[in-house]
């Protein structure tokens, strides 16, 4: 009995603790969702200096101070005291004092000035302000020193004025800005996509950090054509989009993509895993193929060579045009063909190659044994399925030997009519004489059942 009482007492205690914990969590959630937190609001769209020292709250760089202001909003009415300093935070000038208010705003900010906000009984903030226009960076040089097939070498020179500030302990620091930024349009090598509508690769924008503002640097990206380089004197010039020098340079590292598009086949031609556009065409002869090149370079010399992989030294077709058409005729044997593309820039600076595979499949001729011309959209016509057929003739007879249908085109189907009248249901007899692209005879005869 004593053990049972002890157990019930412990169970009751646990329940109380759990309920108390849940109530505390609910109260905390309520307070968090109904309280407006204190903090700064800065007008004038400044750039905040990354990673200020521990004895400094913030350093703001403005693109002009005409509309700049600093506001602090609190959750309660406070006493706010604003002071300013330049080098020594112990030597200050009183600016503004407000009591019994929930917020305070400081206007008429000045360049290279520290501001102290004392919230009486709470804490003190230290802030430094700069007008970037009074401490500009200047790009004096951005030239291409050399260019080859893999890289562009740039010479650059940037003059940067120093911006010094003093923290709450009087320690002097310099705003880190002696890093130039190069912004340029290029092509994403990991996702190279050709836009057929504009006949260009889809471009992207990249920004490169140059750690030394007076240096020679190298770029090895796949560039757009032409590439526009914009050199900004420092991090803040890039943020404010000012003080840049631009250069237009032809792309350095070429990208070449051989591309092919084949004619679409007849609806009743056997397709299997056929593919009619890209770098790996799968189909059957006869086949018309349009070859073209996608490249980021403007002026090129081209050489196309087509050969069977079994006889790489024997050319079956060639061209020196950027785009051309070639027909794999009915005499072409089944197999795999390579369309190799070699290109060189007009200046002779870059040479690149690419290729397209054309796979021609075997001869096929398949004839169904039933069709249902009842206009339900399913199996309404008597059609043969074919691949690589170059000659074709088919006759269809009724049970009494009367000719009811004839065609010399494997794409043409019998719709189940004799003249303008529906043919009777029942068996019909067909005779097919056909020749494959490889010269093989594909003659067939048999029965076809017409059902409605």
pLDDT digit string, tens, across residues 409-430: 999 999 999 999 999 999 999 9
210-239 pLDDT, tens digit each = 887 788 988 888 888 788 888 998 989 999
Those residues whose C-beta lies under 8 Å from the C-beta of residue 381, and which sit 6 or more positions away, are 371, 373, 413, 414, 415, 416
Mean of the pLDDT values across residues 316-327? 94
What pLDDT score does 37 carry?
A: 63
Helical spans, DSSP H, in 129-255: 235-240
Give the Cα separation of 206 and 137 in Å (integer). 21
* CA-closest candidate to residue 325, choices 333, 317, 316: 317
Q: What is the mean pLDDT of the chain?
A: 86
130-161 pLDDT, tens digit each = 999 999 988 988 888 888 778 888 898 998 88
In this model, does residue 341 exceed pLDDT 50?
yes
C-beta of residue 287 within 8 angstroms of C-beta of residue 327: yes
Token code pair at residue 192:
């190279």
Give the Cα separation of 180 and 213 in Å (integer). 6
Q: pLDDT confidence of 332, banded at 50, 70, 90? A: low
In this model, does residue 3 exceed pLDDT 80?
no
- DSSP class of 277: E
In this model, does residue 266 exceed pLDDT 90?
no
Give the Cα separation of 230 and 410 in Å (integer). 61
Sign, CA torsion 207/213/218/223: positive
| CB neighbourhood size of 319 (10 A) | 17
C-beta of residue 429 within 8 angstroms of C-beta of residue 396: yes
3-state secondary structure of 29: helix
In this model, does residue 185 exceed pLDDT 90?
no
What pLDDT score does 440 carry?
A: 77
What pLDDT score does 22 carry?
A: 42
3-state secondary structure of 449: strand
Q: pLDDT confidence of 360, banded at 50, 70, 90? A: confident
C-beta of residue 106 within 8 angstroms of C-beta of residue 70: yes
What pLDDT score does 28 carry?
A: 39
Strand 172-174, strand 180-186: pairing: unpaired
Burial 340-351 (b: 16+ CB within 10 A, else e): bbbbbbeeeebe
Mean of the pLDDT values across residues 193-199? 86
What pLDDT score does 31 carry?
A: 37
What pLDDT score does 270 carry?
A: 67
Q: Which residue has the tokens 């802030």?
A: 127
Mean of the pLDDT values across residues 265-289? 76
Least confident of 9-18, 56-65, 329-338, 401-410: 9-18
- Give 387-402 as a DSSP string: ESEEEEEEEEE-TTS-
C-beta of residue 300 within 8 angstroms of C-beta of residue 445: no
Q: pLDDT confidence of 285, banded at 50, 70, 90? A: confident
In this model, does residue 175 exceed pLDDT 50?
yes
Q: Which residue has the tokens 């190069």?
A: 182
Better-predicted residue by pLDDT, 135 or 29:
135
Mean of the pLDDT values across residues 19-37? 41
For the chain, give me the number of helices (H) and strands (E)?
Answer: 2, 36
Question: Could you tell me the CA-to-CA distances from 350 to 145, 293, 302, 400 in Å, in that order?
Answer: 18, 16, 12, 73
C-beta of residue 360 within 8 angstroms of C-beta of residue 334: yes
Q: Which residue has the tokens 């759990």?
A: 18
CA 257 to chain CA mean position, Å: 18
In this model, does residue 76 exceed pLDDT 70?
yes
Q: pLDDT confidence of 21, banded at 50, 70, 90? A: very low
In this model, does residue 304 exceed pLDDT 90?
yes
What pLDDT score does 441 carry?
A: 87
What pLDDT score does 372 carry?
A: 96
In this model, does residue 35 exceed pLDDT 70?
no
In this model, does residue 15 exceed pLDDT 70?
no
In this model, does residue 82 exceed pLDDT 70?
yes
What pLDDT score does 123 carry?
A: 96
Q: pLDDT confidence of 297, banded at 50, 70, 90? A: confident
Token code pair at residue 247:
């250069």
Cis amide linkage into residue 382, ω under 30° from 0: no
Mean of the pLDDT values across residues 1-5? 46
């Amino acid at each position: 009995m004593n053990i049972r009482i002890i157990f019930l007492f412990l169970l009751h205690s646990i329940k109380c603790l759990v309920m108390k914990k849940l109530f505390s969590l609910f109260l905390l959630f309520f307070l968090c969702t109904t309280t407006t937190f204190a903090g700064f609001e800065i007008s004038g769209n400044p750039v905040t200096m990354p990673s200020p020292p521990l004895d400094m709250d913030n350093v703001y760089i403005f693109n002009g101070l005409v509309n700049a202001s600093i506001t602090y909003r609190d959750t309660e009415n406070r006493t706010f005291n604003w002071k300013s300093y330049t080098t020594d935070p112990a030597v200050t000038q009183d600016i503004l004092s407000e009591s019994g208010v929930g917020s305070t705003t400081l206007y008429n900010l000045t360049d290279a000035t520290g501001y102290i906000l004392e919230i009486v009984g709470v804490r003190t903030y230290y802030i430094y302000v700069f007008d970037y226009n009074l401490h500009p960076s200047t790009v004096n040089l951005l030239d291409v020193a050399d260019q080859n097939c893999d890289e562009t070498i740039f010479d650059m020179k940037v003059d940067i004025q120093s911006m010094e500030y003093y923290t709450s302990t009087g320690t002097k620091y310099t705003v880190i800005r002696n890093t130039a930024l190069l912004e340029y349009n290029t092509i994403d090598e990991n996702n190279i996509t050709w836009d057929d509508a504009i006949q260009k690769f889809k471009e992207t924008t990249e920004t490169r950090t140059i750690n030394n503002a007076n240096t020679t640097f190298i770029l090895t990206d796949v560039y757009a054509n032409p590439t526009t380089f914009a050199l900004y004197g420092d991090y803040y010039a890039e943020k404010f989009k000012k003080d840049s020098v631009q250069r237009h340079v032809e792309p350095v590292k070429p990208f070449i993509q051989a591309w092919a598009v084949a004619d679409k086949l007849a609806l009743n031609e056997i397709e299997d895993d056929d593919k009619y556009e890209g770098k790996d065409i799968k189909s059957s002869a006869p086949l018309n193929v349009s070859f073209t090149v996608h490249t980021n370079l403007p002026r090129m010399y081209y050489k196309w060579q087509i050969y069977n992989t079994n006889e790489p030294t024997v050319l079956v077709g060639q061209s020196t045009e950027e785009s051309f058409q070639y027909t794999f005729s009915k005499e072409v044997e089944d197999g795999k063909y390579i369309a190799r593309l070699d290109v060189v820039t007009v200046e002779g600076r870059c040479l690149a190659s690419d290729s397209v595979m054309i796979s021609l499949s075997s001869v096929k001729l398949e004839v169904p044994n039933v069709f249902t011309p009842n206009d339900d959209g399913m199996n309404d016509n008597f059609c043969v399925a074919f691949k690589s057929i170059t000659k074709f003739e088919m006759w269809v007879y009724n049970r009494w030997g009367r000719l009811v249908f004839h065609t010399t085109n494997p794409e043409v189907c019998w719709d189940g009519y004799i003249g303008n009248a529906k043919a009777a249901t029942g068996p019909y007899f067909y005779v097919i004489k056909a020749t494959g692209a490889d010269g093989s005879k594909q003659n067939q005869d048999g029965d076809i059942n017409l059902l409605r």
